Amino acid sequence: MADRQILFSAPMIRALLDGRKTQTRRVVGKRGGRSRPNIFDGTWADSYVLDPGNVSWREDSTPWKAGDRLQVREACAIDGNRVFYRARHEEASARGPRVDVRWRPSIHMPRWASRLTLIVTDVRVQRLQDISETDAIAEGLQPHEAPNGHVTYEVPGAVLGQTPERGFQALWSLINGDDAWAENPWVAAISFDVVKANIDSLPAEREAV
């Protein structure tokens, strides 16, 4: 068990804040001897070699374990002791008055400015396309029912699909590229509880890494 960092894009931060997102998938494995970057949710992560014939070893090979605490990093701006979070800022959604701030990418958010901590409850390794309907919804998709009763699954500003699986497929391809879904990589499916607090305000249970 360890304290780690994890990066998310603005739509996924909003899903965390709204209680819609309780899972994230991160690519693991290697292709052609080269580490494959994971850019889902706007992040980069190291790759890990997997043995497709040994499930328990595959899951043990990922850096995430149940009980880990993940310090969420997101795009922000800092003015003295004030922190503006882009995921909720009016300027980010083109509404309201502009505030003259300099946005920092999520990777440059200082630890003290983080407002979300994830407590890992489960880690599974699976092929990307093996995601279930329940897990697709847990990735942060929001159902929208039209007046005619037709339901689609979306993130704010983007209608993604007519089923949760199709919605997640569209979201993955939107962020990772048109061929990313067809590649069907091995992923770590990380389940977690969301704590709306800075990691350092929680009881210190283990050393950070």
What DSSP line would sit under 85-118, residue for residue? ETTT-GGGGT-S------PBPGGG--GGG---EE
Judge whether 3 and 23 are in contact, CB under 8 Å. Answer: no
Q: Is 183 left (phi over 0), alpha (psi -120 to 50) or beta?
A: alpha
The residues that bridge with 117 in the sheet, in sequence order, are: 71, 195
> Model's pTM, two decimal places?
0.78
pLDDT in tens, the chain (209 residues): 799 999 998 888 989 999 999 999 998 865 433 334 443 343 434 444 444 444 444 556 688 999 999 999 999 988 888 888 988 765 545 444 455 678 899 999 999 999 999 999 999 999 999 999 999 999 998 887 778 887 877 765 565 677 889 889 888 888 788 889 999 998 999 999 999 999 999 986 544 33
Judge whether 180 and 173 are in contact, CB under 8 Å. Answer: yes
The token pair that represents 98 in the structure block: 């502009």
